[in-house]
Amino acid sequence: MTLEALLFYLFAAIACGSALAVVLTDNVVRMAFWLVMSLGAVASLFFLLEADFLGATQLLIYVGGTVVLLVFGVMLTATGPYVQIKTTPAEMFLGAGVGGLLLLVLASTVMGINWENDVAHALGAESEAALAADTTVDQSGTTGRPLGLAFVGVRPDAVGPDGAATRPGYLLPFEIVSVHLLVVLIGAAYLARAKRRVEPATDLLS
Amino acid sequence: MQALFAAATLQEFLTGMPVPGVKDGLSPGWALALAAGIHAALLFSLFGLLPLIYIWLERKVAGRIQDRLGPTRVGGRFGWLQTLADGVKLIQKEDLAPGAADRWVFQVAPYLAIVASFAAFMVLPFSDTWVAVSLDASVFVILALMSLEVLGIILAGYSSGSKWALFGAMREAAQMVSYEIPMALCLLVPLVAVGTLNLTEIGALQAGPVSSWLIFHDPFCFIAFFTYFTVATASVKRAPFDLAEAESELVAGFHTEYSGLRWSFFFMAEYASMFAVSAIAVIVFLGGWHTGLMVEEGLSGFKGWNPNFLVKDFTLGNYLLNVMGAKVLILKASLLVLVQIWVRWTLPRLRIDQVMTTCLKYLVPISCVLFLGAVLWPLLLMTTLKRTTIMEDMPSMGQLSLPPATAAVESEEMRGVHVVDGSKESVR
Amino acid sequence: MDTVGLNSYLLVAAMLFVCGVVCMAVKRNGIGILMGVELVLNGANLNLVAFARYTVLGLDGQVMALFVIVLAAAEAAIALAIALNFYNNHLTIDVDRGSELQG
């Protein structure tokens, strides 16, 4: 077994096991802990997939930002010392059944396709060679710069034989997302603001 | 995958080493694993030793500032074994968990904090190419890893089942989450000047005299260093921003209920983070592992010196120069840690609302303005001086070793710039 | 077993996705449901990045994943604000209590 496979199985086990623990735990704080483990393991899988920038983003925004936000939510909405809203066994049983079936469908679909050949075939004959070339390229640890260039609309990684870019840049979606974030910032601040009760106006003269 | 570990050179050296019972010697995969293990062990010894020294330093400096002697007995005249004695005492203490605590989370939380703090050392370069994991976006990764420490602290405070701990954790969470923003923005200011997120490249660009350090690159970098240092002090929850463990209000904040070894984990994480943020400041602003006195340039002839060493790609001279670089880096970072300690024992603690005001009303706008200024600075210089740096030999984007695909684009852009320049020249 | 291919990553992603869906379905705690959403988005992200690595799609998968992460952060902020409002109105975070609009 290669080292890469070993690391993959380790992180995959942590990711799946922790995700399962999120479902099975009733205590919200413990759920947050397991969510951190799961998301952290997914970040490690990103690093294994040679997406180093994405792995770092996952750590910074998901684990360091979103989960902290969730824990904040837990603290602000805690009525007792440890919030536990139990799921009834019947609901759990039903959920497990439906989830198991869904997993079965997804897994059989994934296993039923020969990705190496069928996908390349579906994408066209000329891309088969590109696929063979692409998977052998070791772009390890250097995705930050191409990603940044893609966001400003330049694609040096996808240049056709005539020198024109074969893939789109992402400048417009990038701008839309940034405006979207601003809207969300204002919206969240508006929704979560502390409500001041307006005192009924008392007539001083009467 | 392999380049993710810069252990590559050590791996090359270890591959094929004779192992009893294995036919062809060590296989590349195992050599990589072994090399990674050696790197981790080296980092961990540093991670363990630095807090030991800094805690002693803190007690000594605190003593001197308060007109006392500080520790004097353990380990001879200067009490330099005091921390070790403290550690032995802490290990012997009973590992308590209060009855109201969520026991399991309570016991796991310190590990989360210390792992996050230690993981930051992974991408920290100590000298030229002396880094455990060499990533293209290492500044980003190190900020991400250090931001994870807050989770351990929140979970610790929340699971303690104590009001003091809960308040401490809430303060800590609010403080760390808001101080991350100006911290990242301040770090971006010099990064705009050099155009890379790779700490190793940033450090390598600052070779030469002191004037090539990035802090002297432009006025915005100069201010950004001091802003960064303030913010970094707050983000590792040191006084005057140590609201999370304000002992006059909250007993001991988030670690009120902890004792023994688990408590010392929080302490180690704090001191290791102090070193980590200081080392980032040194690499990004203060010349990294370069002395700035042209010593490296003087010794450059020494680089190839390699008496009686038959290992491939290893020269003793280069190795010794790297050892010197690592020492210079650790010394500079320790000086910054000393400043943090000095500030702690000099300034009074702020109130929590003052801490948040400082961040949100002053530091965030300041860092935004600095960032904007750093972006506009090359344009200003371009229109006045016809180059992007004040002095000719300053580090700038052009000196980078870019990956081939990007380099092509960059060179095209540069050619464009040259054409523009040329046309201007010809017009004149 | 010896080589890790696209299949293995897709299976992990499917597992995360299913866990997230079940979490969204069975939890009655509003914040627990949010955690389920995060798991679902992570499963999808893992799919995108795995396809980016193992097929010709290249960098585009990673760009999509970055957008997903950004939008997930935005979603978490808004949803948390909603959860806080829910708590202000019902003094609990149990989503089964929010049934005033039921006929």
Residue B270 to residue B258: CA distance in whole angstroms: 15
Q: How do residues B346-367 score in pLDDT, each as one tens digit?
A: 888 888 888 888 888 888 999 9
**C20 lies in a domain?**
no
Q: Determine contact: B141 vs chain A, CB below 8 A.
A: yes
In a domain, A199, yes or no: no
Distance of CA A21 to the CA centre of its chain: 18
The predicted structure's pLDDT at residue A91: 82
Percent share of chain B, pLDDT over 70: 80
Domain that holds residue A162: 142-192
Cα→Cα distances A51→A140, B139, B306, Å: 8, 16, 38
Q: How confident is the model at residue B391 (pLDDT cuts 50, 70, 90)?
A: low
Chain A residues inside the 8 Å CB shell of C39: 19, 22, 35, 38
Inter-chain touch C77–A107, beta carbons under 8 Å: no
Which chain B residues touch A149 with a CB distance below 8 Å?
Answer: 406, 409
Same domain, A97 and A173: no
Please judge whether A116 and C25 are an interchain contact, meaning their C-beta atoms are less than 8 angstroms apart.
no
pLDDT in tens, B208-264: 787 788 888 888 888 999 999 988 888 887 777 777 676 667 777 777 778 778 888
pLDDT at B369: 92
Task: Please tell me which of the candidates A38, A103, A181 has its beta carbon nearest to residue C14.
Answer: A103
Interface check C89 vs A, CB under 8 A: no
- Residue of B314, B403, B410 lying closest to B3 (CA atoms): B403
* Closest to B159 in 3D by CA, of B113, B107, B116: B107
Evaluate if residue A173 carries a pLDDT over 50. yes
Residue range A184-190: mean pLDDT, rounded = 87
Listed as own residue / partner, the contacts of B66-73 with beta carbons closer than 8 Å and 24 or more positions apart are B66/B345
Q: Report the number of distinct structural domains present in chain A.
A: 3
A vs C: CB pairs below 8 A: 234
Please indicate whether residue A31 or residue A139 has the higher confidence score (pLDDT).
Answer: A31
The answer to whether the beta carbons of residues B156 and B113 sit under 8 Å apart is: yes
User: CA-CA distances (angstroms) from residue A167 to A138, B387, B408, C1?
Assistant: 20, 34, 17, 34
Domain edges within chain B: 1-92, 96-395
Angle value at C-alpha B194, between B118 and B331, nearest 5 degrees: 45
pLDDT at C42: 92
CA distance B54 to B267: 11
Q: pLDDT value at position B25?
A: 66
Q: With an 8 Å Cβ cutoff, are B151 and A36 in contact?
A: yes
Domain that holds residue C60: 31-96
A203 belongs to a structural domain: no
∠ CA A153-A154-A155, nearest 5°, is 120
Backbone angles phi and psi of A120, in degrees to 5: -60, -40
Q: Which of residues 192-211 of B touch A (CB under 8 A)?
A: 197
Could you tell me if A36 and A74 lie in one domain? yes
Q: Do chains A and B touch (3 or more CB pairs under 8 A)?
A: yes
Percent of chain A with pLDDT over 70: 70
Residue A22 has pLDDT above 50, yes or no: yes
ipTM of the complex in this document: 0.88
Query: Tell me, what's the pLDDT at B15?
Result: 66
Distance CA C22, CA B229 (A): 45
Interface contact C72-A2, CB threshold 8 A: no
Specify the range with the lowest mean pLDDT, choosing from B236-245, C3-12, C16-25, C80-89.
B236-245
Is a pLDDT exceeding 80 seen at residue A3?
no
Question: Taking CB atoms and an 8 Å cutoff, what residues of chain C touch A20?
Answer: 15, 19
B173 and A CB contact within 8 Å = yes
pLDDT for the residue numbered A74 = 76
CB-based contact A51 C91, cutoff 8 Å: no
Structure confidence at residue B9 (pLDDT): 60
Residues A3 and A76 grouped into a single domain? yes
Measure the CA–CA gap between B377 and B380, rounded to whole angstroms. Answer: 5
Chain B residues touching A65 at Cβ < 8 A? 147, 177
Nearest to B144 by CA among A67, C71, A61: A61
In a domain, A25, yes or no: yes
Identify the residue with better confidence: B278 or B394: B278
Please indicate, yes or no, whether residues A64 and A19 belong to a single structural domain of this protein.
yes
| Separation CA B113–CA B157 (nearest Å) | 12
- Segment B47-52 shows an average pLDDT of 82
A30: chain B residues, CB-CB within 8 Å:
102, 104-105
Share of chain B above pLDDT 90, in %: 3
State whether A149 and B112 contact (CB < 8 Å): no
Quote the pLDDT of residue A160: 67
pLDDT at A14: 92
Which band of pLDDT confidence, cut at 50, 70 and 90, is reported for residue B98? confident
A78 plus A12 within the same structural domain: yes
User: DSSP strand E in B281-363: where?
Assistant: none
CA distance A125 to A144: 30
Q: Which chains touch C (3 or more CB pairs under 8 A)?
A: A
C91 belongs to a structural domain: yes
C98–A contact, CB cutoff 8 A = no
Number of domains in chain C: 1
Whether C36 is covered by a domain: the verdict is yes
In a domain, A178, yes or no: yes
Confidence at residue B406, expressed as pLDDT on a 0 to 100 scale: 44
Measured in angstroms, the CA of A89 and the nearest CA of chain C are apart by 10
Could you give the CA distance from residue A174 to residue A170 in angstroms, rounded to a whole number?
A: 6
- Chains B, C in contact: 3+ Cβ pairs under 8 A? no
For residues B167 and B252, the answer to whether their CB atoms sit within 8 Å is no
Mean pLDDT of B331-359: 86
Is the pLDDT score of B410 beyond 80?
no
Q: Where are the alpha helices (DSSP H) in B131-162?
A: 138-146, 149-159
- Best probe of the B interface among A52, A58, A63, A151, by most B CBs < 10 A, is A52
Name which of C36, C78, C88 is nearest A188 (Cβ-Cβ): C78
Residue A137 has pLDDT above 60, yes or no: no
Is residue A42 located within the same domain as residue A103?
no
Question: What value does the mean pLDDT take over residues B191-199?
Answer: 83
Q: What does the alpha-carbon distance between residue B41 and residue B39 come to, in Å, rounded to a whole number?
A: 5
A170-174, B157-161, B363-367: which has the minimum mean pLDDT?
B157-161
* C30-87 pLDDT, tens digit each: 888 888 998 999 999 999 888 887 777 677 888 888 899 988 888 888 888 888 888 8
- Of chain C residues 20-59, which have a CB less than 8 A from chain A? 20-23, 25-32, 34-36, 38-39, 42, 45-46, 49-50, 52-56, 58-59
At B98 the three-state DSSP class reads coil
- Using the structure block, give the residue that is written with the tokens 């694993």: B33
Answer for the pair B359, B179: CB distance below 8 angstroms, yes or no. Answer: yes
* Length of chain C as a residue count: 103
pLDDT-wise least confident of A59-63, B199-203, B247-251: B247-251
Taking one residue from A and the other from B, the number of pairs with CB-CB distance under 8 angstroms is 116
Question: Hey, are the CB atoms on C5 and A28 less than 8 Å from each other?
Answer: no
Check residue A190 and report its DSSP letter. Answer: H
Closest C-alpha among B373, B207, B423 to residue B381:
B373
- For residue A204, the model assigns a pLDDT of 59
Claim to verify: residue A10 and residue A58 sit in the same structural domain: yes
Mutate to test the interface with A, among B15, B135, B170, B400 (most CBs of A within 10 A): B135
Residues recorded for chain A: 206
Is a pLDDT exceeding 70 seen at residue B31? yes
Q: What are phi and psi of B162, to 5 degrees?
A: -135, 140
Q: Is B420 on the interface with A (CB under 8 A)?
A: no
A29 is a domain residue = yes
Mutate to test the interface with C, among A72, A184, A185, A186 (most CBs of C within 10 A): A184
| B238 DSSP assignment | -
- pLDDT at residue B66 greater than cutoff 60: yes
| Interchain CB contact of B3 with A (< 8 Å) | yes
**Shared-domain flag, residues A98 and A149:** no
In a domain, residue C2? The reply is no
Measured CA to CA, the distance from residue C10 to residue B374 in angstroms comes to: 43
How confident is the model over A86-106, as pLDDT tens digits? 777 888 888 889 889 998 998
CB atoms within 10 A of CB B111: 13
Establish if A197 belongs to a structural domain: no
Do A45 and A4 meet the contact criterion of CB atoms below 8 Å apart?
no
Quote the minimal CA–CA distance from C91 to chain A in Å: 8
Average pLDDT, chain B: 77
A101 in the same domain as A42: no
User: Which of C3, C48, C55, C86 is the best substitution to test chain A (most A C-beta atoms within 10 A)?
Assistant: C55
Give the CATH number for residue A77.
1.20.120.1200
CB atoms A85 and C29 under 8 Å: yes
Contact between residue B152 and residue B273 where contact means Cβ atoms under 8 Å apart: no
- The span from the CA of B38 to the CA of B14, in Å, is 11
Does the pLDDT value for residue B376 go beyond 90? no
Which subunits count as partners of chain A given 3+ CB pairs below 8 Å? B, C
Which residue in B134, B117, B149 sits closest to B50, CA to CA?
B117
User: Looking at residues A14-23, what average pLDDT do you find?
Assistant: 91
**pLDDT given at position B44:** 82
Residue B417's pLDDT is: 39
B398 compared with B115, residue with greater pLDDT:
B115
Whether pLDDT at B402 is above 50: no
Could you count the other beta carbons within 10 Å of the beta carbon of residue B398?
A: 13
Closest CA to B337 of B277, B382, B249: B277
Question: B406 and A149: CB-CB below 8 Å?
Answer: yes
Looking at the complex, does the CB of residue A72 fall below 8 Å from at least one CB of chain B? yes
Phi, psi for B288 (deg, rounded to 5): 60, -125
